[in-house]
Amino acid sequence: MKALISILSEPHFYIINKIWDELEDNFGVKKIKDIFPYPHFTWNISGNKLENIEEILLNKISILEPFEVQTSGLGIFTGDRNVLYVPIKLSRKLYAYHKYIWEIYEDKSQNVEYYSPEEWFPHITLASEDINRENIGNIVSYLSKRQLNFKIKINSISLIDETELGFNIIKTFNFKMK
């Protein structure tokens, strides 16, 4: 599986890493950090058959301009696999960039439908896999005291690949510098 992500810029990279460390120290929750230790949000996930995708992404992403995303609060995806996250407000620019990226990928692979422009819910994952009914209440209570409203500058997109040990960054594509 391959994915396109934006790794958070400082100081937000540090802030989310610190929260991950606190969740590990206080609740034993560390799976997200073990899988991919870079605070980020995901643009798209697809299969592995992406011919010439690096060259295509280099040409398509280098024309995008840096922008900011706004986060607000704390959220939970429920179901078989709970996910605790910081929601990202879907601004017009973020939606337009996401749609543009979706269309690049659409011709090259099988997209995961919940990353489609109609379904996508941008977020920064704080915990998944090792949260459950027994610990989620205490974790939410702990994090509810936090101010999680950030303006985060986004200036690149990274292509990552899943391995047996987690995810690796294949290449980072920088946006056009102003």
What pLDDT is attached to residue 57? Answer: 83
Q: Which residues is 156 bridged to in the sheet?
A: 174
Higher-pLDDT residue of 166, 81 = 81
Confidence label for 176 from pLDDT (cuts 50, 70 and 90): confident
For 37-70, write each residue's pLDDT tens digit. Answer: 899 999 988 766 556 677 778 888 899 999 999 9
Question: Which residue in the block uniquely carries the two structure tokens 């994090």?
Answer: 143
Whole-angstrom distance, CA of residue 156 vs CA of residue 21: 25
Higher-pLDDT residue of 3, 65 = 65
- Range 91-118 average pLDDT: 80
Higher-pLDDT residue of 146, 113 = 146
For 101-112, write each residue's pLDDT tens digit. Answer: 888 866 555 556
Check pLDDT > 90 for residue 148. Answer: yes
Q: Select from 120, 126, 145, 115 the least CA-distant residue to 83.
A: 126
Contact 7, 167 (CB under 8 A): no
What pLDDT is attached to residue 107? Answer: 52
**Structural domains of the chain sorted by starting position, each given as residue range(s) with its CATH number in brackets:** 2-174 (3.90.1140.10)
Q: Which of helix, strand or coil describes residue 136? A: helix
What pLDDT is attached to residue 51? Answer: 62
Higher-pLDDT residue of 57, 13 = 13
Q: Select from 173, 159, 174, 171 the least CA-distant residue to 46.
A: 159
- Range 89-96 average pLDDT: 96
